[in-house]
Amino acid sequence: MNDRSDSASRTSSRVVVIGGGPAGLMAAETLAGHGLQVDLYDAMPSVGRKFLLAGKGGMNLTHAEPAAAFITRFGMRQDQLGAMLGEFGANALRAWASALGVDTFIGSSQRVFPVGMKAAPLLRACLHRLREAGVRFHMRHRWRGWDADGALCFHAPAGEVIDKPDAVVLALGGGSWARLGSDGTWVPVLREQGIEVAELKPANCGFDVDWSTHFQQNHAGEPLKSVKARFTDRHGVDHERAGELLVTASGVEGSLIYAWSAMLRDTIAESGSATLHLDLAPGRSPERTMDDVRHPRGARSLSSHLQSRLALHGVKSALLREVLGADGMHDPERLAATIKALPLTLVGTRPIDEAISSAGGVCFDGLDASLMLRNRPGVFCAGEMLDWEAPTGGYLLTGCFASGRAAGQGVARWLSAQDTALATEATALNA
């Protein structure tokens, strides 16, 4: 068994960060900036694996919308995230990337990307700066909890490792993409310590639809472009959004519904299903759609007629047949109404391991304003393992970075207060 608690330099306080995602890396940088010795542990062979995957199709780092609108994307947790984002929001994150030599730009959708669109250069620059600051990395070390003396226990290739630092930042991720390290195995470890953890649930996820075998076999993998979705939530509030979906073998996924995943998921949990209404021809009024449907088609087939008059073909045309059946397709009034409001019933969420992110986690009631666990002084939490969620579009990443910085700042303040208390006690004893 390897005990690292005595081998490290004691010239300054030493902090362990567990988790090498955006929150953990930002916490480590913040701590090192305060002159603290930092040891970062991660169960995977390298850090930032989920971060790199997120950048595969173009690294969406943050979002350029005004701060007042930005914070609303965090839903019921905007009060908890507000202070963190006020200290380190979208502009601060862009400045941080620029200081690492990676400039950013604002896309047409107001999403912010690194020049070059890749995550790897940003991660490499971040790790280089951390190593220069003295941060020490320990890979393939899986945290198993605390021993009877309050020391951290890790399982490593060389055997069990025990470490007892002055403070700890837990940045263990959520429950999605287990193969990249976010597997949620920390949940029972914390619950055993009396720490309240909300159930981990899929967020930014796909949803199941009961497709017919014919539709599934012929259209899985096809994008459903240029549609507008409408949804009335369980509180009676109407939502509307334009974009595109991807038809999958099990249902649908894509940016159009990711932003609504929380309320769709909660509606399904409460009612058993949630129904979207898709406008397949958002550029046409209902009246024009009816005129186009009723327009004489002569010898043309219905499929040819819908394609020439309404530009409906492929998966859109197949969706109409899936919902209406053969009889409904030849009822002009039903067909026109369904083109403008096709009901798509979602019957379940995809498994959490397929989701982009997860909801649930360490409850904020068990944390103080510095993200320290109330029943475990000196242990701080950050990132996706906290009980919050945000949509894609840069919000999730910004929240992770901001909470990592907040936890690092919290540790520095707590250790400073501990040193002050010890100094005061020593002065009193020597008086």
For residue range 360-389, what is the model confidence (pLDDT) as tens digits? 999 999 999 999 999 999 999 999 999 999
pLDDT attached to residue 53 = 86
Output the domain CATH number for residue 143. Answer: 3.50.50.60
Average pLDDT, the chain: 93
pLDDT attached to residue 259 = 84
pLDDT at 137 over 90: yes
pLDDT at 19 over 50: yes
Both 211 and 154 in a single domain?
A: no
Last residue of a domain, one of 349, 381, 396: 349
β-bridge partners, 343: 277
pLDDT attached to residue 5 = 62
Both 422 and 386 in a single domain?
A: yes
Both 101 and 241 in a single domain?
A: no
Both 59 and 165 in a single domain?
A: yes
Both 264 and 165 in a single domain?
A: no
Both 121 and 224 in a single domain?
A: no
Both 424 and 368 in a single domain?
A: yes
Last residue of a domain, one of 320, 349, 378: 349
For residue range 289-325, what is the model confidence (pLDDT) as tens digits? 999 999 998 888 999 999 999 999 999 999 999 999 9
pLDDT at 8 over 80: no
Q: Are strands 62-63 and 111-114 parallel, antiparallel or unpaired?
A: antiparallel
Both 372 and 297 in a single domain?
A: no
Query: Total domain count for the chain?
Result: 2
Assign 3-class secondary structure to 32-67: HHCCCEEEEECCCCCCCHHHHHHCCCCCCCEECCCH
| pLDDT classification of 2: cutoffs 50, 70, 90 | confident
pLDDT at 11 over 60: no
Q: Tokens representing 386?
A: 């906290």
Last residue of a domain, one of 349, 365, 381: 349
C-alpha dihedral (419, 425, 427, 429), degrees to nearest 10? -150
| pLDDT classification of 265: cutoffs 50, 70, 90 | very high
Average pLDDT over residues 96-102: 97
Domain that holds residue 171: 2-202+356-430
Both 85 and 212 in a single domain?
A: no
Both 224 and 196 in a single domain?
A: no
